[in-house]
Amino acid sequence: MMETNYTFDFSTALADRRIPNPILTASGTAGSGKELSQFFPLSDIGAVVTKSIMLKPRSGRATPRMAETPSGMLNSIGLQGPGIDIFLENDIPWLVSQGARIIVSIAGETVEDYAVLARKLRSVPGITALEVNISCPNVENRGQVFACNPATAREAISAVRRNIGGELPIFAKLSPDVTDIVSIATEVVDAGADGLALINTILGMVIDTNTMFPRLSQKTGGLSGPAIRPVAVRAIYQVHAALPNVPIIGMGGVASGRDAFELVLAGASAISVGTATFGNPTAAISIKEELENILIEKGFATFHQAIGFAHREEI
């Protein structure tokens, strides 16, 4: 056992913003924040990533919206939410009042939507960063997923960059459902993204063998949970290798400190916890504590030292 008479530095940087620890909620898995605040103070985690907010109120998709799968689940919520105006009026002031650091996730149906959302957010106080969701699998037409095509990914991100001003860091959330995620990542960084959020859910389907129809009303849904963790590790590893200076918010099936550590070794500067929260409301807190213990046990003096550590040369 090594001496630990120093204070372990658990803080991390999201572009030019520093947060006290690297554990975040994953977009769309923390409600408005209020629900989880009954189980732990939101200021105890690095930041709350909000649900992906759109321009207008949105009902989301019909039920069934969910199917459990081996070590995971499919969802087709369809970005249910109140729209940006009500969100700014209710959610943001409440999160600020809790002392939570806030990463606002935004999603648009058109490039113009992203531009308008960025303009509405540019002068809102209390926001640490933007996560630009260009990869939701539950949009009207899967063919329109911005992150599946370098050109549309670029358009959406540059629209946000142009309209947000130079202040707020923006993280582009990408889909793993592409042939070459590195080329998409390179494109959005070139278009002005300060960082990346990897990975969104993977498109999947479950067929009910009793009814002999797809289980979800929308037939397809996004797969999340530990089942997709190796895909997340692979995507983060590949992108970090190509773009070592671009901060990555890693996510995909993290359910323990060990899992979070795996994504950090691959190259993540922060870790979002999503599906694990459904099974355990205090998952983010236990993962944070476990990760800190693992890092100290392994002999890291700072969290920063561990980022991308799996990329070091073998001796």
Partner 1 sequence: MEMPTINTRAQQMDAEVISNKRLGAYNHIVLAVNEIATYAKPGNFVAISVGGAGSSMVLRRAFAIYRAQIRPDGQGVMELVVAPHGNGSKWLASREPGESVNIVAPLGTAFGIPTEPVRALLIGGGYGSAPLFALAENLKAKGCRVDMVLGASTAAKIYAPLEGKRSVNSMTLTTDDGSAGTRGRVSDVLPSIIEQNQIEIIYSCGPMAMLSAITDIANRFGVIHQCSVEESMACGIGVCMTCVLPVEGRDGITRMVRTCIEGPVMDGSKVTWSKSREIPDGVWGK
Residues that are catalytic: 136
Residue linked to tokens 């939507």: 113
Site string for partner 1, 181-220 (x = CB under 8 A): ------------------------------------x---
Q: What share of the chain is helix, strand, coil (3-state, %, to 5)?
A: 35, 20, 40
Residue 92 touching partner 1 (CB under 8 A) = no
Q: Are 52 and 133 in contact (CB under 8 A)?
A: yes
Nearer to partner 1, 89 or 297 (CB): 89
Residue 31 lies near partner 1 (rule: CB under 8 A): yes
Rule CB under 8 A: which of 121-180 touch partner 1? none
Query: Strand runs (DSSP E) across 161-274, as ranges?
Result: 170-173, 195-198, 202-205, 207-208, 213-214, 220-224, 248-250, 270-273
Using CA atoms, how far apart are residues 311 and 13, in angstroms rounded to an integer? Answer: 19
Cα separation of the two ends of the chain: 23
- Tokens describing residue 264: 């950090």
Q: Which pair of tokens denotes residue 162?
A: 């142009």
Site map 235..274 versus partner 1, x via CB under 8 A: --------------------x-------------------
Applying CB under 8 A, the span of 70-78, 141-149, 157-165, 300-308 interacting with partner 1 comes to 70-78
Is 276 near partner 1 (CB under 8 A)?
yes
Least distance to partner 1 from the beta carbon of 2, Å? 28
The helix/strand/coil state of 220 is strand
Residue 96 in the binding site for partner 1 (CB under 8 A): no
Judged by CB under 8 A, does residue 83 bind partner 1?
yes
Is residue 99 within the footprint of partner 1 (CB under 8 A)?
no
Beta strands in the chain (DSSP E): 12-14, 17-19, 23-25, 48-53, 66-69, 72-75, 102-106, 127-133, 170-173, 195-198, 202-205, 207-208, 213-214, 220-224, 248-250, 270-273
- 90 interacts with partner 1 by CB under 8 A: yes
Considering only the stretches 78-86, 121-129, 156-164, 190-198, report the one whose residues sit in contact with partner 1 under the rule CB under 8 A.
78-86
Q: Does 7 bind partner 1 (CB under 8 A)?
A: no
Interface residues with partner 1 (CB under 8 A)?
A: 28-32, 34-36, 38-39, 56-66, 68, 70-73, 75, 77, 80-83, 86, 90-91, 94, 217, 225-226, 255, 275-282
